């Protein structure tokens, strides 16, 4: 018995929907692990560079500076990877989206006007 998608289109449709639901349900987990890995990588790499510079110069302050730079760059990369970060929290104006769209959102929508 051979399997052919053309013979049973309902089964193919169910399989495609099941696959789409599974991808959608794990998207949040994937985003979380990506953010965690990016932050840790920034801290470890730049902390290691700071440690090496500290060994080279003999000044112990290079390691904490490297860790802070790595954390800052990691946060920056996580925000850039998010592509469309939420607006800044401003309690006085309430929680609504800005009427202005970011360049990334405009590119995604295929529009060039602002």
In a domain, 74, yes or no: yes
Tell me which residue range forms the domain holding 67. 45-82
Q: How many domains is the chain partitioned into structurally?
A: 1
In a domain, 78, yes or no: yes
Task: Look at the pTM and tell me if it is higher than 0.95.
Answer: no
In a domain, 16, yes or no: no
The segments of the chain whose pLDDT lies below 50 read 1, 5, 114
* Residue 1: predicted pLDDT: 45
In a domain, 88, yes or no: no
In a domain, 73, yes or no: yes
In a domain, 69, yes or no: yes
* Residue 114: predicted pLDDT: 47
Contact 27, 15 (CB under 8 A): no
- For the chain, the 3-state helix, strand and coil shares in percent, each to the nearest 5, are 70, 0, 30
């Amino acid at each position: 018995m051979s399997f052919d998608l053309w013979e049973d289109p309902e089964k193919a449709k169910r399989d495609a929907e099941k696959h789409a639901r599974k991808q959608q349900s794990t998207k949040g987990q994937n985003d979380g692990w990506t953010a965690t890995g990016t932050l840790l990588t920034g801290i470890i790499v730049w902390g290691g560079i700071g440690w090496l510079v500290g060994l080279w110069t003999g000044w112990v302050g290079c390691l904490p500076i490297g860790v802070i730079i790595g954390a800052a760059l990691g946060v920056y990369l996580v925000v850039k990877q998010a592509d469309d970060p939420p607006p800044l929290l401003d309690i006085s104006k309430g929680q609504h989206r800005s009427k202005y769209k970011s360049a990334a959102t405009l590119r995604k929508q295929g529009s060039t006007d602002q």
